[in-house]
């Protein structure tokens, strides 16, 4: 697992004021054909030939964090959005924890973690994710999100 500096994005123009921000994904400077939610690429991590992207919308008072997992050719495998109405988040990280886990900070004074799975697995939409996580494909996932209270810093 490593930070993937070969990944970049190109924000796409919105067709209306109500359309959420979207961006085209570039791998090594070439358009991969993937379009993802978000306007700012906060970080990209490569693990086992797959790319995990962390993107925000650049909306200061109602920020969302979009996680998108792409295969090596840029095809979307899985995605999730973290945040909610009137939730102001600030992305911090990523922290590479081991070969399949990445830690980060965003909302709710929690330590967030995403674990990449070797293959897709079944998930139960109502019980599988922490509060504030939404998925477009609710029954199968290629990564798992977890949150725990932020550890107190000893004084």
**Looking at the predicted structure, is the pLDDT value of residue 95 above 60?**
yes
pLDDT at 153 over 70: no
Q: List C-alpha distances in Å: 87 to 45, 60, 61, 137.
A: 25, 10, 7, 23
* Predicted TM-score (pTM) of this structure: 0.89
Q: What is the pLDDT of residue 73?
A: 87
Cβ pair 114, 100 in contact under 8 A: no
Q: Are 103 and 112 in contact (CB under 8 A)?
A: yes
Strand 40-47 to 30-37 pairing:
unpaired
What contacts 49, CB < 8 A, 6 or more positions away? 71, 72
């Amino acid at each position: 697992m490593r930070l993937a500096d070969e990944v970049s994005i190109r924000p796409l123009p919105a067709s209306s004021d109500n359309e959420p921000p979207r961006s085209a994904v570039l791998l090594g400077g070439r358009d991969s054909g993937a379009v993802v939610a978000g306007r700012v690429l906060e970080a990209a991590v490569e693990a086992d030939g797959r790319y995990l992207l962390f993107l925000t919308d650049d909306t200061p008072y109602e920020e969302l964090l979009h996680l998108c997992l792409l295969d090596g050719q840029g095809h979307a495998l899985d995605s999730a959005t973290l945040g909610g109405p009137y939730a102001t988040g600030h992305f911090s990280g990523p922290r590479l924890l081991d070969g399949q886990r990445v830690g980060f900070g965003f909302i709710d004074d929690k330590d967030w973690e995403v674990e990449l799975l070797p293959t897709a697995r079944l998930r139960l939409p109502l019980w599988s994710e922490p509060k504030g996580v939404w998925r477009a494909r609710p029954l199968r996932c290629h990564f798992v999100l977890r949150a725990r209270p932020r550890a107190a810093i000893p004084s």
